[in-house]
Amino acid sequence: MVKELQLRVTLKEEEHHDILVIKSAQVLDIDKEDITGVKVLRKSIDARKPKIIFNYKVAVYIREVMPKSSEYQFDYKDVSKAKPIHIIGFGPAGMYAALRCIELGFKPIVLERGKNVQDRRRDLRAINQQHFVNEDSNYCFGEGGAGTYSDGKLYTRSLKRGDVRRIFENLVYHGATDQILVDAHPHIGTNKLPKVVQNIRETILKYGGEVHFETRVTDFVIKNNKIQAIQLNGKDEMPADRVILATGHSARDIFYLLHEKEIALEAKSFAMGVRVEHPQHIIDSIQYHCSGERHELLPAASYSLVQQVNDRGVYSFCMCPGGFIVPAATANGEVVVNGMSPSKRNNLFANSGIVVEIDVNRDLPKYEQFGALKGLEYQKNLERMAFTAGGRSQVAPAQRLTDFVEGKLSADLNPTSYQPGLNSSPLHSLMPKLIGSRLRKGFAAFGQKMKGYYTAEANIVGVESRTSSPVCIPRNERLEHPQIGGLFPCGEGGGYAGGIVSAAMDGERCAEAAIVGL
């Protein structure tokens, strides 16, 4: 017999290793010895009040063996001689599109402009230490895409677009901890993601797929409004009639290429702002109502904040407890920051993007000349400003949080996790008024919602500009571009996803759509 229960466990009770068995026996009014296993289905922490509660959803096995195998089985088959599907980009959307192709009996041929995860590390080191950006291999481009080196957060609200559990199970199948199947806000961790990504690549190769690194797509050969071939690295052509375009939100060259070829694009609303970085103990003390160090059973505290300011949302984005800030530029001459955390989230700092909604139909009248690329050009200008304000390297412009809100240049800055370093800059006057004025009011409001958040011990670091794509590549009900047959815009780069899980689900959907009629 199996019974599902909701259990509430106090922090003190959580210290007992068999508390779930004890609690389950009490609720079911049975002997502990009758319980053969308790499987945690969901776990979350309620820290809204000083008395912290762990909420569990569990399956209790009563005089019955608890199964160990996954409920999902992935039917990968040899596709070495099967019909090909070409996939451009090897981030979450591209990876899951390739895996789904194999399940469906088609051969994925993946074309990735960047390097594999091992070789990519050297280019990341060059950004941090020499301040040099390899435009094909950086925190956004390369095996695994931006997700590989940005924490691996798996929380999603896209529950209607596909099977979220299936996405998680596949990550576990490829080496992620099964804790992601349980946590309310799961993440894998920057230190563990590369191995998971490598395992996915090895599965694709094992079953006959292909993955080509350092292979940039530079043109599409189109005849009679249908894809015929892909040009690679400015010279070689590869015949292709079904192409899944999963290039991510930062592949600006693809947007420019499509625009130049007069292939339909649409401007898309997005968000931009800054990263704010606090000492982790400040966030812990606010969220856990504690002084000093948090209890060892509690994870580094996170937060989620939103405030309407002058008819625009100001909100936290990609919050990284126990994490660090990284340089996420994709070209020299720009400064972009992002955040990530190791699996243990044990760094001394907490950081989060704090961003402002940009309505491309109302907010960018001076950029109308750029048409569908107006948001992209606005984004680029903000990143160039940050490059100049930082000192024309990967050093980022920064300001104490209180000085930013009060409109004062910071005489000095707090310690930071951002390896290239910070330069005190008047971001309060350098940021466009559309963003800066709303951020200042938003931070003041956040200080009211979280007492202690508004502090001189926090830095803001510029700029957080790659929250999502500023361009949408349209597609029809068949997930195909309405103008170009055989082209399937996919994931974040197409404007159809907002994170690892939603991108992965969209990759699967595009694979299913691309094989129709083959």
What does the pLDDT look like over 399-417, one tens digit per residue? 999 999 999 999 999 999 9
| Other C-beta atoms lying within 10 Å of the C-beta of residue 72 | 14
CA distance 418 to 128: 9
User: For residue 161, what pLDDT is reported?
Assistant: 55
pLDDT at 99 over 90: yes
pLDDT at 185 over 90: no
Q: Residue 421, exposed/middle/buried by CB under 10 A (0-12, 13-18, 19+)?
A: middle
Backbone phi, psi, residue 71, to 5°? -75, -15
**Residue 68 pLDDT class (50, 70, 90 cuts):** confident
CA distance 233 to 493: 20
Mean of pLDDT values over 208-232:
98
Kindly report, residue by residue over 285-305, the tens digit of the pLDDT. 999 999 888 999 999 999 999
Which letter does DSSP use for residue 484 in this model? S
| Other C-beta atoms lying within 10 Å of the C-beta of residue 135 | 17
pLDDT at 485 over 70: yes
Give which of 433, 427, 436, 387 is closest to 403, Cα–Cα.
Answer: 427
CA distance 338 to 418: 10
Share of the chain above pLDDT 90, in %: 90
Which letter does DSSP use for residue 207 in this model? T
CA distance 247 to 229: 17
Give which of 131, 149, 138 is closest to 320, Cα–Cα.
Answer: 149
The number of angstroms, rounded, from the C-alpha of 327 to the middle of its chain's C-alpha atoms is 15
pLDDT at 13 over 70: yes
Contact indicator for 374, 364 with CB cutoff of 8 Å: yes
User: For residue 235, what pLDDT is reported?
Assistant: 92
Contact indicator for 307, 442 with CB cutoff of 8 Å: yes
User: For residue 159, what pLDDT is reported?
Assistant: 56
pLDDT at 329 over 60: yes
Read off the tokens for 19: 């508390």
pLDDT at 69 over 70: no
Contact indicator for 172, 180 with CB cutoff of 8 Å: yes
| Other C-beta atoms lying within 10 Å of the C-beta of residue 245 | 28
- C-alpha distances in angstroms, 180 versus 4, 82, 299, 319, 441? 19, 34, 14, 17, 36
| Other C-beta atoms lying within 10 Å of the C-beta of residue 50 | 8
Q: Residue holding tokens 């799961």?
A: 186
- SS3 call for 312: strand
Contact indicator for 432, 382 with CB cutoff of 8 Å: yes
Mean of pLDDT values over 301-327:
96
Kindly report, residue by residue over 441-476, the tens digit of the pLDDT. 999 999 999 999 999 999 999 999 999 999 999 999
Mean of pLDDT values over 391-398:
98
CA distance 323 to 257: 36
Q: Residue holding tokens 């803001």?
A: 460
User: For residue 400, what pLDDT is reported?
Assistant: 98
User: For residue 210, what pLDDT is reported?
Assistant: 98
CA distance 97 to 510: 7
CA distance 150 to 92: 12
The conformational region for residue 437 under phi > 0 = left, psi -120 to 50 = alpha, else beta, is alpha
| Other C-beta atoms lying within 10 Å of the C-beta of residue 122 | 11
CA distance 398 to 163: 41
Give which of 66, 40, 39, 38 is closest to 54, Cα–Cα.
Answer: 40
Share of the chain above pLDDT 70, in %: 97
What global pTM score does this model have? 0.95
User: For residue 155, what pLDDT is reported?
Assistant: 72
Mean of pLDDT values over 333-356:
95
User: For residue 160, what pLDDT is reported?
Assistant: 52
**Residue 73 pLDDT class (50, 70, 90 cuts):** confident
User: For residue 125, what pLDDT is reported?
Assistant: 96
Q: What is the mean pLDDT of the chain?
A: 95
Of 483 and 342, more confident? 483
pLDDT at 275 over 80: yes
Which uninterrupted H or E stretch holds 26? helix 19-28
Contact indicator for 350, 323 with CB cutoff of 8 Å: yes
Q: Residue holding tokens 């940050």?
A: 386
CA distance 21 to 36: 9
CA distance 6 to 155: 21
Specify the long-range contacts of residues 288-291, CB closer than 8 Å, at least 24 apart.
Answer: 288/47, 288/52, 289/47, 289/49, 289/50
Kindly report, residue by residue over 111-166, the tens digit of the pLDDT. 999 999 999 999 999 999 999 999 999 999 999 998 787 666 787 665 555 688 89
User: For residue 67, what pLDDT is reported?
Assistant: 85
CA distance 317 to 499: 11
